[in-house]
Each structure stands twice: as structure tokens, then as C-alpha cells.
């Protein structure tokens, strides 16, 4: 993780066979999108009245 212009940049390095590279990258991107789409887990404090 690195500080970035819009928050935090996540850098992932991986080793795979050349023939599997495209599929693996797509699976990783899909997992990342799924994580980003998950609803908030409640870590944000609720406003008090």
C-alpha cells in the first residue's frame, strides 16, 4: 500500500505462467471489484443525537 493522489494505491506483484497471466489478472480484478462493492461493515462510527 502506498499513499496516492486519491487515497491509497495498492500494488500487487504475482508470478504466474505466461499462458495463465490473462485469466489470473481478470480473476484478481474481479475479486477486487467484489470487495469494493461490499456494503460497509459498520466500522464507521454512527452519529450521536
pLDDT tens by residue, the chain, 49 residues: 778 888 888 788 889 999 999 999 999 989 988 988 887 766 666 666 5
Q: How far apart are CA 5 and CA 37, in angstroms?
A: 21
The CA–CA distances, whole Å, from 7 to 2, 22, 26 equal 9, 27, 23
Quote the pTM value: 0.56
pLDDT score recorded for residue 20: 94
How many degrees, rounded to 5, is the angle at CA 44 between CA 43 and CA 46?
A: 125
Domain boundaries, the chain: 2-37
pLDDT score recorded for residue 41: 67
Amino acid at each position: 500500500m502506498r499513499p496516492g493522489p486519491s487515497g491509497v494505491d495498492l500494488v500487487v506483484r504475482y508470478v504466474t505462467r505466461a499462458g495463465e497471466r490473462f485469466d489470473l489478472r481478470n480473476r484478481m480484478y474481479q475479486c477486487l471489484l467484489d470487495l469494493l462493492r461490499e456494503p460497509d461493515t459498520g466500522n464507521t462510527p454512527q452519529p450521536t443525537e
